[in-house]
Amino acid sequence: MTEWWNSIELTSQVFYGIGIISLVILICQMLLTLLGLGGDHELDLAGAEHDSGLGLITFRTLTAFFVGFGWAGAVFLNHGHSLGSVIARATVVGAAFLLGAALLVRALLKLQSSGNLDYSNAIGTVGTVYSTIPGGEAGNGQLELMIQGRLLMADALTQAAPELKPGSKAKVVALVNQSTFLVEPVSPSPS
């Protein structure tokens, strides 16, 4: 290995060095992220720490740039291109790696979900009365409905005069508090 390293020109050593070192750093970043020890916060070029991952110039994307720049530079030098041409082409490849890494991180972060239910998302949803909902807001009953892909049982009130019986349909019209809905009866569709 040392014989090969000593046999190549200094410019090739520089490009290989950049490629090897940045690849090792990138692999360490990936391993730390897989182990849950990295990736909580990302330092952007402006020095602001955030966890959105949406920045274009971050430590992770710069590492990807140098991986592309170093290895592309070594390949282009081995194919006999001039140093100016190699630097220009390696910069383009590095920029593509940087952009690709930023887009990949952004796409992966879009897959995240907090798992928190937002009851306001139920407004306009029709559910099934589970336990009688007294009319005129005289008390709570329960409504079964789907919110954010989850089947949920929630307290419900109605201003309607007749009570809503179990099995009948009701539409959520407002949120009374964090987990109680104001509903109105849904008349069955004529058949």
Instruction: Give residue-wise pLDDT tens across range 107-153.
Output: 877 776 666 778 888 889 999 999 999 988 888 899 999 888 888 88
pTM (predicted TM-score) = 0.56
Q: Where are the beta strands (DSSP E) in the chain?
A: 42-43, 49-50, 126-131, 141-147, 150-158, 169-177, 180-185
For residues 91 and 113, is the Cβ–Cβ distance under 8 A?
no
- Chain centre to alpha carbon of residue 7: 46
Cα separation, 81 vs 104, in Å, equals 31
d(Cα 171, Cα 181) in Å, to the nearest integer?
Answer: 9
Q: Domain limits of the chain?
A: 2-110, 119-185
As a whole number of angstroms, the distance between CA 112 and CA 54 comes to 13
Q: Kindly tell me if the per-residue pLDDT of 44 is higher than 70.
A: no
Q: Rounded CA gap, 130 and 132, in Å?
A: 7
Q: Classify 119-185 by CATH class.
A: mainly beta
